Amino acid sequence: GEEGVLLNVEIQGADRKGPIQLKLTIEFQHRIFGGVLHFDDPNFIPILFDRLSHCTGWTVKQIGDLELD
């Protein structure tokens, strides 16, 4: 079946009050979708951002198969 492709990863909230979060943008079936990830440990967000920012153009399945240390 078709899979979404990661287009963009951004850190949001680092410059204002409120929680820091990770915003993902994907393309699926020729449509653009966005989502926001929140984590209990905000220190994990820059780590995940660094890892995912190298994965733009990858399918969601490829990203899901990644091993995180």
Give the DSSP per-residue string, 38-65: --SSTTHHHHHHHHHHT-TT-BHHHHHT
Mean pLDDT value across residues 7-15: 87
Name which residue leads in pLDDT, 39 or 18: 39
- Residues 46/11, Cβ–Cβ less than 8 Å: yes
Instruction: Return d(Cα 28, Cα 3) in angstroms, integer.
Output: 6
In this prediction the pTM is 0.84
Q: pLDDT, tens digit, for every residue of 26-64?
A: 999 999 999 999 888 888 898 999 999 999 999 999 998
Helices vs. strands in the chain: H and E counts, helices first: 2, 3
User: How do 31-37 and 5-12 pair as beta strands?
Assistant: unpaired
